[in-house]
Structure 1
């Protein structure tokens, strides 16, 4: 911890030193170069302007033209290339005057200088002194009308966090993984080295809706935490609705992560190839004429290609892909087609090793994944009426086959463990969102969603029961078969209105009606918000929302399910403050409270598994749980064009639940948990970047392992969980205090004649242990000890004398390197 604080102090001491502010391509007629300190670069109060003058009729550079800023009386004359440049101009609005000896009059053009940014312009001037302004370079990419028109402008009453994909990939310690960078934002995830759990304001990952360009996304990480299922280079930005959002998002959501992929391009072709040894990826995009855009992205695991020839068994594999095609049919209608998918898979069949030499037959097969396709039509019928219609198909699948046989010389061939699960859940969805501006101050937003899902689940188990370690009696083998088919039908609709009665006041009110045939229940969910803009560049928001979560399919339909279960209810109360400290710096503060009712729970009696009694291990699923979550967030972000970006985030979260009305409230995962993240990335030159990330978490309370091990998507998890409630309760898990510093260095260079970006990341700089505690039920520990004493069990890999155990996996100090080819 002391080393961490010393590292932060060293970084702060670096700020006063000065560096050269020179550029790679100097021009003869540019203003004198000056030296700027790092502090001036990170917190600038000035901006630059660069431009080029052309003679419109013959399209050649305009030489000897005088360019003057009227308000500051600065002037330059263009050279043979027609270029000019003014640097370190105070922020503000100015008038640019352009004159030439061959022109009768001068031309005056209004310009706006922003702090830390370079305004680039290309001017074509005719012989009469009038001009046509065009944009150049990256400015054109942001100012030209995009091919695919994005969603409605965010109303002032709606709160969300928005982060660029290009920034997330440059956060140290993430391996260029955008989703892993999300945990540096307040109240998103829990910093740790094992589980990729995106808890948002205390809500479980299964309670978060994930979308990629309005098409459902199955799950964010391969195998629960390894690497994200979306190519990070294809992401334009990610929008997080953490709570208190409007009626446009429906049932089964406490939060929403809405991902927008890239949809425009400056040149004809572009792409990124990540030469990652473990999991290489590629992203290619292209313009189709002047009205179309297409992209393709893919990734696969290369372990079997590299190490496969040296082993008799295969390594786990994963892969994913994304496809996108966008085309402007007319000026008012645009069409987008997209597809995506991901798969996690391993196959350990007929495995032979020293550990399994007593098994004549062993099979372990696992395959989980999703695939989705979408057709989206956006229509701007008039300036007041906009429609966004989407038809999507989303298919989740799960296939598990565990089969281990005992030595046939000693056991019957029927006495072997079998665990087989197959889940297939396709979903077809029609979604429509309409925006109609009735007056300049009043807008209506109606919409609907219809979904049809013919899902099926089957599970077969063959296992030993009534095991008694103290006697020589053979256990009894019991076969269980649980199968159900169900056609899920969902109908949702909403109506929302936004009204701005005053220039500084905006209100929104909406109501959503949802029906799911699983619960045979119509839910009514009112939601509202108010936004007040204060004279001090401060926006104050208040929001309330009622959000319902339907029970999981297995809790209702399986053999031990409850057909009378209803949806649980959560009410959000949110207050947020947003203040612009400067054009580059924003401060956000939020406090929230969530009240949860009718949670679906059941009690698990772990001791009954090992007692010689008829006591029930579990009770029935009932709408009997209650709970609450409260918290506070601070988010301070600073961004200076492409030179610097960084933020400080802090989140306090406390959650409590009770399983039944007779139980006391107990902390649930977040027990007065404090999480701090500091991110800073600085580019001293256009080709070099350095970055640092430090995270701290005060730790959590113990929860069943099943609430943290998210190796399934929410759909198949709801049909049949890999880890049952009982198995999860046997192994309570908690995170200890966590802190870690990561560094990143990158440089653009030419390698073998190709432009590449080489980067090096140092993970866990001061080698923090960052333990995760696993606990076991006392009865289970006693049984294992007795089996060890009698020689029926080899040495257990944990220290059974201690009630708590260290994590088997953590990330120690490590250095990684990579190459990225961009074309």
Structure 2
């Protein structure tokens, strides 16, 4: 396969080079109000071109040779920003939506990868389309890009679940267009211990990168507008389609087929559409020797975004997405090849998810803006496990079955007002109606329980530019859940001190809360007795950071953080090691109380050089501790206390000729091994199932996780289209990382389950 790739690269490089061009254009607006900024200065390097924005804040550079560029935007009274890593390819325009914030004293130039008015003094990263396409083994998924960031650990090769600063993946929140949605991932059971659905992760994001704009990844003490999350937020934003010309993208690879189309509805308006469809055929991976353990994996999805700007009524968007996926394990018909307990089962897992919504943005004069969003989203999963008769495969008996349904209707309305150049007030409200239903086996057959309620979350924040070197933000977030009648008052605060043009200190504080998982509310010794009195888990977080900017779009950032968790659900028994802090996807059959605690603390460092001079580096790492206390009063390591994370992400591009480029990219993950609980072999043998020594919870440390990924690509431009041929290899070393241990009823012994090995994926992308 690699020989074929290199042959195509060599053949393509011999073609006659011509000078192909395209367009870089966009708008410059005030980040708070959305008002266009007239005559903003826009510099394009290394082209050496400079222009000003027009009365509508629009700028454009036409007939620019394809290649990589850096855009610098400045305006009197606003921060100057630099946007590097702009890739201009023939057949596709580069459209930049730029939002400028008011200026205090700033770094030499605030280097960003995108700007959309997000303000967080600490712990925020922007994830762009270009990064998702360039980084190794992302599979067009922004969550997999996030594993390159400090303090972030992947839970499994198969999934995009994220352990952030020692917290469970379930402590994270997914947002779309600024509001909370259900888990937007295919195969939400991927990589789990019990093969059941999780609340926040999955095999791959249902929203393809073709449709996404910039995704903002926040950790730590969040600004006041974010609630109902403890560890992190993946805030996804849809990009609008090209409003001047029709463009297409087609990608085919061993993962599947991906097709996108965008363009204007007519030449007389700026209304545009963007649509994307994906269909997987991952079964073809078996043709090149990739073993998924007898599993057949399939998924497909469709998404769209319609942008409708008006002259006086603001801008409306209408969007939607939907996807279904399945994972079927079929036993080998050669029963002599059976090795493990799972080999004697036929397991069918299905996952369906959909969302639809609308947004409205309007400027209210020169000082205010109103942004509103409404999204309805739903998710359903089912899992059936059958035992198979060795003598007759058609004779199978239902062994396990469970279903989960989840739906949310989320709405928000946020107003931003600038009192003066020193004061900005932002306030609004989030409202979410949510419904959860779980169906699982019980002593008398299947049990179906549900819970529903309304989440009310108003917030307000004030940003004060105290002086040219000092900026403060104070705010408050409130959360009320009608079902449990829970209330949470959450003060927030942040301070940024620009000690020089190239360095700044920052401090953030926040009190946060998060509602419990459905299986917590629907738990109890009596299957029909809900734990309705369980309140949200709360935490107090502090973050202190320092950032130093160097030349050529490089910087160093160090953050120290502390997170104290309380009101954590633990067993009502006085002698139990159980804590909801460690939950992933399992059910609970015990009564719970909000008496547990936990703490996470650590230090993170990140050195980043963005893609200039044809190479980039993102080097990040952290040292951390994650502990908890159950109802037995013993302080233990949490399941996710790996102790350290390390990530190296980097790459180099080589210009063969003007329109031919090939690059090599790598990502190396080295993560401290998570914790496991010893298995009671004698009890497991007697019960013929896995029985843990819960009084020794998480005393076993698994081996460190190590995974090097590689991406090699070749890009070639023609007059009206460009194409990219790429080879991604996840885990090129073939390292067999630990997953979990269990008592195997077939082998009658404790077995250590490994994660996936090497996965090569070839793809061909065509933009026109």
**Bin of the TM-score, shorter chain as denominator length:** 0.7 to 0.9
Q: Which residue of 1 aligns with 2:326?
A: 345
Which residue, out of 143, 161, 180, partners 2:125?
161
Are the structure 2 counterparts of residues 526 and 305 from structure 1 closer, same or farther at C-alpha, using a change threshold of 3 Å?
same
Q: Which residue of 1 aligns with 2:364?
A: 381
Which residue, out of 500, 523, 531, partners 2:496?
531
Q: Distance in 2 between matches of 1:248 and 1:293?
A: 29
1:256 aligns with 2:233: yes
1:563 aligns with 2:546: no
Q: Which residue of 2 aligns with 1:584?
A: 553
TM superposition shift of 1:255: 1.6
Residue 408 of structure 2: SS of its match in structure 1? strand
Q: Distance in 2 between matches of 1:445 and 1:327?
A: 25
Q: Distance in 1 between matches of 2:456 and 2:64?
A: 61
1:268 aligns with 2:279: no
Quick check: 1:264–1:293 contact (8 Å CA) kept in 2? yes
TM superposition shift of 1:665: 3.1
TM superposition shift of 1:384: 1.1
Are the structure 2 counterparts of residues 688 and 590 from structure 1 closer, same or farther at C-alpha, using a change threshold of 3 Å?
same
Residue 235 of structure 1: SS of its match in structure 2? coil
Q: Which residue of 2 aligns with 1:457?
A: 438
Quick check: 1:543–1:573 contact (8 Å CA) kept in 2? yes
Q: Distance in 1 between matches of 2:169 and 2:491?
A: 23
Which residue, out of 760, 763, 768, partners 1:818?
763
Q: Distance in 2 between matches of 1:330 and 1:51?
A: 29
1:677 aligns with 2:648: yes
Which residue, out of 664, 668, 692, partners 1:695?
668
Are the structure 2 counterparts of residues 644 and 263 from structure 1 closer, same or farther at C-alpha, using a change threshold of 3 Å?
farther
Are the structure 2 counterparts of residues 807 and 725 from structure 1 closer, same or farther at C-alpha, using a change threshold of 3 Å?
closer
Are the structure 2 counterparts of residues 735 and 271 from structure 1 closer, same or farther at C-alpha, using a change threshold of 3 Å?
farther
Which residue, out of 420, 434, 441, partners 1:439?
420
Residue 189 of structure 1: SS of its match in structure 2? strand
Any gaps of 5 or more consecutive residues in structure 2? 1-15, 22-43, 52-61, 74-79, 101-113, 191-201, 288-293, 579-587, 679-688
TM superposition shift of 1:356: 12
Quick check: 1:157–1:506 contact (8 Å CA) kept in 2? no
Quick check: 1:528–1:545 contact (8 Å CA) kept in 2? yes
Length-normalised TM-score, structure 1: 0.68
Quick check: 1:391–1:431 contact (8 Å CA) kept in 2? yes
1:211 aligns with 2:175: yes
Matches within 5 A, 1:138-537: 141-142=95-96, 153-155=117-119, 157=121, 159-190=123-154, 193-214=157-178, 216=181, 218-220=183-185, 222-223=187-188, 224=190, 226-265=203-242, 268-289=245-266, 290-303=269-282, 315-331=296-312, 333-346=314-327, 354=335, 364-404=347-387, 417-461=398-442, 478-537=443-502
TM superposition shift of 1:257: 0.8
Any gaps of 5 or more consecutive residues in structure 1? 1-21, 28-44, 53-81, 94-111, 121-135, 462-477, 608-616, 706-722, 785-792
Quick check: 2:298–2:325 contact (8 Å CA) kept in 1? yes
TM superposition shift of 1:351: 9.8
Deviations, residues 251-280 of structure 1 (Å, cap 9, x unaligned)? 244321112232253751122211113322
Which residue, out of 618, 623, 627, partners 1:647?
618
Q: Distance in 2 between matches of 1:537 and 1:531?
A: 13
User: Aligned-pair RMSD on alpha carbons?
Assistant: 4.7
Quick check: 1:679–1:692 contact (8 Å CA) kept in 2? yes
Q: Which residue of 2 aligns with 1:756?
A: 723
Are the structure 2 counterparts of residues 227 and 140 from structure 1 closer, same or farther at C-alpha, using a change threshold of 3 Å?
closer
TM superposition shift of 1:652: 2.0
Deviations, residues 295-342 of structure 1 (Å, cap 9, x unaligned)? 11121222579999xxxx993322222211011022560001111123
| More displaced stretch, 150-159 vs 668-677 | 150-159
Deviations, residues 634-693 of structure 1 (Å, cap 9, x unaligned)? 222222458333321122222111212521333542242232323224243542132232
Q: Distance in 2 between matches of 1:557 and 1:118?
A: 49
Q: Distance in 1 between matches of 2:86 and 2:231?
A: 41
1:542 aligns with 2:519: no
Are the structure 2 counterparts of residues 400 and 760 from structure 1 closer, same or farther at C-alpha, using a change threshold of 3 Å?
closer
Quick check: 1:482–1:559 contact (8 Å CA) kept in 2? no
Q: Which residue of 2 aligns with 1:33?
A: none
Q: Distance in 2 between matches of 1:187 and 1:541?
A: 18
Are the structure 2 counterparts of residues 236 and 627 from structure 1 closer, same or farther at C-alpha, using a change threshold of 3 Å?
same
Are the structure 2 counterparts of residues 341 and 683 from structure 1 closer, same or farther at C-alpha, using a change threshold of 3 Å?
farther
Residue 174 of structure 1: SS of its match in structure 2? coil
Quick check: 2:184–2:207 contact (8 Å CA) kept in 1? no
Q: Distance in 2 between matches of 1:741 and 1:584?
A: 26
1:775 aligns with 2:741: yes
Q: Distance in 1 between matches of 2:216 and 2:81?
A: 28
Deviations, residues 156-176 of structure 1 (Å, cap 9, x unaligned)? 646511132211221123345
Q: Distance in 2 between matches of 1:245 and 1:664?
A: 27
Quick check: 1:286–1:295 contact (8 Å CA) kept in 2? yes
Are the structure 2 counterparts of residues 806 and 522 from structure 1 closer, same or farther at C-alpha, using a change threshold of 3 Å?
closer
Are the structure 2 counterparts of residues 772 and 304 from structure 1 closer, same or farther at C-alpha, using a change threshold of 3 Å?
closer
Length-normalised TM-score, structure 2: 0.73
Give the structure with higher Rg (CA): 1
| More displaced stretch, 392-401 vs 738-747 | 738-747
Q: Which residue of 2 aligns with 1:79?
A: none
Residue 380 of structure 1: SS of its match in structure 2? strand
